């Protein structure tokens, strides 16, 4: 009887399909021999044919696809490596990008619009020729290469995102972002490349993001730049192992300290910022009204306007960082942002070289631990004040 019961259960288990048993691959282009289903001419057509239950993969052949993409069901959008090429590129349609898509003044080249899981891998998004003005009747138009909205989730891996700006460079609108994670979404961004934008690389607003091992390169001198990675207002997550370089807005905007490699502002939970390399920006890492974060093991050089690390917040831990060539301070503690406090921060075991002040401390702040740092070639190793002469 026991053997019979086991055999019966085995038959039942084998008869039940797994969650992905009926998943299909929908090919875009003509680089495979697949005939069922027949290849699609456009990415959007393949997405529209995917099952709403999820699990399908839209596989894109190398080539150029002038489309604006909307994804509202769970799926994987992935580029193929075929015929000695690994370059499927989504470009702007001939008429440019639209700023409607249910987002008012937001134009997303690839948009995830429902609370579903979407993975985007192995392809490029190039928004050059988007033909967008700086504003419409709803206000300034924000341009995203990829946007996750509406509590969506997923991964972005091995993508290249570029040319997110309105107007004509160098006189652009200052509203272009490579990847935006907003409206409570939860996304991992990994091993990707972002460049040529006029507002930022990764922008997280009221959402959660894991930003790991990406390379982000700003366009050098221009107008409108904010930060290469931003966690703003109610966000959470971490930024680890990223390589960030070349951000120098002119004139200096965003804040008195300038445009930064990584910025945290009023985040919902402590964020780990670790083992990133940040070079040739106006400031390295900035915390605005941000508490309890861990800033460790970063290499920061060439902060041309202000500080390697700027702290406006409480109980932050800054340890094991290497900071070189900052215009004002290697580490600055300042309580003037948002009228908040900056107390009980720990700055220990950092190496700081070539700056005006190794550590600059706001005289109205207190309770800091500032020891074990190795400071070289600083006019003042430690200075109490609001600026360095």
pLDDT at 138: 74
Exposed (0-12), middle (13-18) or buried (19+): which is 10, by Cβ within 10 Å? exposed
Average pLDDT over residues 64-72: 97
Average pLDDT over residues 81-97: 95
pLDDT at 365: 96
Lookup result for tokens 């000695």: 84
- Each residue's pLDDT tens digit, 327-386: 999 999 999 887 789 999 999 999 999 999 999 999 999 999 999 999 999 999 999 999
Architecture of the domain delimited by 62-70+85-384: 3 Solenoid (2.160)
Q: Which of 213, 216, 206, 151 is nearest to 179 (CA)?
A: 216
Average pLDDT over residues 132-146: 86
User: What is the reported pTM?
Assistant: 0.92
- Each residue's pLDDT tens digit, 198-216: 889 999 999 999 999 999 9
What is the 3-state secondary structure of 195-233? EEECCEEEEEECCEEEEECCEEEEEEEECCCCEEEEEEC
Residue 234 C-alpha from the chain's centroid: 15
In whole angstroms, give the CA distance from residue 387 to residue 389. Answer: 6
Radius of gyration of the chain (CA): 24
Distances in Å between the Cα of 220 and the Cα atoms of 31, 60, 70, 111, 133 are 38, 32, 31, 27, 22
CB 146 within 8 A of CB 159: yes
The mean of the pLDDT values for the chain is 90
């Amino acid at each position: 009887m026991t053997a019979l019961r086991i055999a019966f259960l085995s038959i039942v288990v084998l008869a039940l399909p797994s969650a992905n048993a009926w998943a299909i691959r929908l090919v875009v282009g003509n680089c495979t021999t697949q005939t069922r289903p027949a290849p699609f001419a456009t990415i959007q057509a393949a997405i529209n044919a995917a099952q709403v239950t999820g699990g399908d993969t839209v596989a894109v052949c190398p080539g150029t696809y002038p489309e604006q993409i909307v994804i509202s069901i769970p799926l994987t959008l992935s580029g193929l490596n075929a015929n000695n090429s690994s370059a499927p590129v989504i470009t702007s349609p001939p008429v440019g990008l639209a700023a409607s898509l249910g987002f008012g003044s937001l134009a997303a080249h690839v948009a995830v619009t429902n609370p579903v899981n979407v993975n985007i891998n192995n392809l490029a998004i190039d928004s050059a020729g988007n033909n967008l003005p700086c504003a419409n009747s709803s206000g300034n138009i924000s341009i995203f290469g990829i946007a996750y909205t509406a509590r969506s989730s997923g991964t972005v891996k091995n993508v290249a995102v570029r040319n997110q700006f309105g107007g004509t460079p160098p006189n652009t609108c200052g509203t272009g972002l490579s990847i935006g994670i907003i409206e409570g979404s939860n996304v991992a961004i990994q091993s990707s490349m972002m460049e040529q934008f006029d507002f930022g690389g990764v922008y997280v607003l009221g959402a959660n993001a894991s930003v790991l091992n990406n390379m982000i390169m700003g366009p050098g001198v221009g107008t409108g730049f904010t930060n290469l990675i931003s966690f703003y207002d109610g966000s959470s997550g971490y930024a680890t192992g990223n390589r960030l370089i070349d951000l120098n807005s002119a004139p200096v905007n965003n804040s008195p300290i300038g445009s930064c490699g990584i910025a945290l502002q009023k985040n919902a939970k402590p964020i780990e910022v670790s083992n990133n390399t940040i070079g040739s920006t106006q400031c390295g890492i900035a915390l605005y009204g941000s508490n309890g974060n861990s800033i460790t093991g970063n290499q920061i050089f060439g902060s041309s306007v202000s500080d390697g690390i700027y702290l406006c917040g409480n109980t932050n831990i800054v340890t094991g960082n290497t900071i070189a060539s900052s215009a004002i301070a290697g580490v600055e503690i300042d309580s003037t942002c948002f009228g908040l406090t900056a107390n009980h921060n720990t700055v220990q075991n950092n190496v700081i070289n070539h700056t005006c002040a190794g550590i600059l401390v706001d005289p109205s702040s207190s309770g800091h631990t500032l020891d074990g740092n190795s400071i070289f070639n600083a006019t003042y190793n430690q200075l109490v004040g609001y600026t360095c002469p």
